[in-house]
Structure 1
C-alpha cells in the first residue's frame, strides 16, 4: 500500500521545481542577450547611396502621366464649357487669339478685326485654374506687309496674358510666296518680343508651298489618321516635330462638343522635357 503524502510536502516540491525552472529561464535569456550583443558588433555597416533631391527629367517622366492638350477658339463657346471639369483632364491648352484678317461680320467666332471673340475668357478661366496656356493665330495675310500687320494684332492681344508659346497657324495659300509670308509673320513676332514662336502646318502643305521651318522654335503637325477621336496614326515625316494634333473629333469631360486633341510628338524620347519647353511647367492641378 502507497504512503500518502502530506499536502504541504507536495506544495513545497512543486514550488522548488518552479523556482529552478524560472532561474534556468532567466539565465538562458541573459545568455541570448550577450550573444546578440556580440553578434551586432560583427555586423558590417553598409553606406547608403546619396539621393538626389531633384529627380532627373527621365526619372520624372517615369512617374508623370501627361494628359491631353486641347486647342480652343471662339467656336468652342465659354458658355458650353465647364472649366472646372475640363481643367482636371488636360495638361495644357492652346487658345486662338487671332482668326485672320478679312473676317466677315457674319463670322460667329471672330470679330471683323480678326480677334477671336472668346479668347479672353478661355485664357483667363484656364490660367485661373493653374493650366498653362499657349496661343495661336490663324494667318491669312496676302502679302508680307499684311502678315506683319496680323502678327502685330496677334501679339498686342495675346502678350498681356503672358502665354507660354506663340503659334502661327498656316493652312491656306494666301500669297504667291508663302514661305516669305510665314517668315515675315514669325520675324515680326520675334521683333515684338515673343521669345517662343512655333509653326502649325500640315506636311503636305509645307512641301507643296516650299515653306521652311528654319527659325521656328517648335513644330506642330496635324495628322488625323482615321479621325476617330483617338490617337491612331503618327505623322509620316522625317522632320523633327514637337506637337501632334491627332483628331478634331475628340471628347473631353466638361465639354459636350467635339474638340481638337493634341499630344507631345510620339517620336520624342523625353516628352516631359518637350512639354516644359512648350508650356513652361506642369499644371498646378496635376
Structure 2
C-alpha cells in the first residue's frame, strides 16, 4: 500500500522545479548575450583597416589623378572609399590665409580650413598619401612668416609628404620677398619638402623666383574640359600639372581639381618625390 504524499511536499516540489527552470533560462540568456557580445566584438575588430600601398607610376598619362581639396568640398558630400579608389594622392588645403576675417562655409575666422583634419584623416586611413597646402595672402614679411607658422603648426602632426604654397594673389608690393619669407619660415620650423603652386604668367608678372623650392606645381587648363589636353607650354622644370578645375571622379558628385605628374620626367621618380614621406 503507497503512502499518501502530504500536499505541502507537493507544493515545495513544484516551487523548486519552477525555480530551477527560471534559473536555467536566465543562465541561458546570459550565455547567449555573451556570445552576441563576443561575435559583435570580433566582427568589429575584423572590419577592414587601410594601409598605405606602394604605388608605381609607369605612365603619367595613364595614372589615377591626384586631387586637391579644401573646405569647399564638404566631407558629407564625399564617399571616401570610392573616391580613394580612383586617385593616386591628395593635397589638402589647411589654411586659406590671413585675409579671412570671419567664418565662411570653408574656413574659420583665423583662416584655417574647416574640414582639413577630416580630409587628411579619411584619406590617410585609406592608404592615400597626403600633402598639404596653404593659400598665401600675407601683406608683409612679418605676416607671411605668421601665416607660415600657423600653416606648419596645423599640419606637421599629420606627417604630410609635402608642404605647398598656393600663390595666386598680389598681396604685397614685393611678392618675391614675401613668398621667400613664407618658404624660409617653413624650412626653419622643420618642413623638409616645400613646393610652390603658381601660374607662369603670375610668376613672370611679379618676378617670383622658384629656385629655392624643391618642387613646382603649375596650373594650366587648355580647354578646361575635365580631361587632360596638353602639357604646360613652359621651359620650367615643373613636377605637377593641374590640368582641369572641372574634373569628375566617382565618389564626389561635383567638380574637382585634377592633377598629374609631369610628362617630361621619369614619372615614378617624381611621384615618389612628392608622395613619399620624408625620413
Question: TM class by shorter-chain length?
Answer: 0.7 to 0.9
Q: 1:85 and 2:82 equivalent? A: yes
- The CA deviation string for residues 159-207 of structure 1, in whole angstroms up to 9 with x for no partner, is 0100000000000000000000000000000000000000000000000
Identify the residue that residue 132 of structure 1 maps to in structure 2: 129
Residue matched to 1:263: 260
Aligned partners of 2:85 and 2:222: how far apart in 1?
27
SS in structure 2 at match of 1:61: coil
Counterpart selection for 1:69 from 61, 66, 69: 66
CA distance in 2, matches of 1:275, 1:60: 7
What per-residue deviation string (whole Å, max 9, x for no partner) do you get for residues 102-131 of structure 1? 213252111111100000000000000000
The gaps in structure 2 that reach 5 residues or longer are: 1-55
Q: Secondary structure of the residue that 1:182 maps to in structure 2?
A: helix
Q: 1:60 to 1:240 in 2, by over 3 A?
A: closer
The match for 1:275 is 271
**Structure 1 residue 66 displacement after superposition:** 2.5
**What number of residue pairs does the alignment pair up?**
222
TM-score, normalised to structure 2, is: 0.77
1:39 maps to which residue? none
Distance in 2 (CA, whole Å) between partners of 1:197 and 1:241 is 13
- 8 Å CA contact 1:102–1:112 kept in 2: the answer is no
Structure 1 regions of 5+ residues with no counterpart? 1-58, 282-286
Q: How far apart are 1:236 and its partner, in Å?
A: 1.2
Counterparts in 2 of 1:148-187, with a 5 A limit? 148-187=145-184
Q: Which residue of 1 aligns with 2:10?
A: none
Work out which of the two has the higher radius of gyration on C-alpha atoms and give 1 or 2.
Answer: 1
Residue 204 of structure 2 aligns to a residue in which SS? Answer: helix
CA RMSD, 1 decimal: 1.7
The corresponding residue for 1:111 is: 108
- State the TM-score, normalizing by the size of structure 1: 0.75
Off by >3 Å, runs of 4+ in structure 1: none
Looking at structure 1, the residues matched to 57 and 166 of structure 2 have their Cα atoms a distance apart, in angstroms, of 31
Paired residues of 1:244 and 1:263 also in contact (CA < 8 A): yes
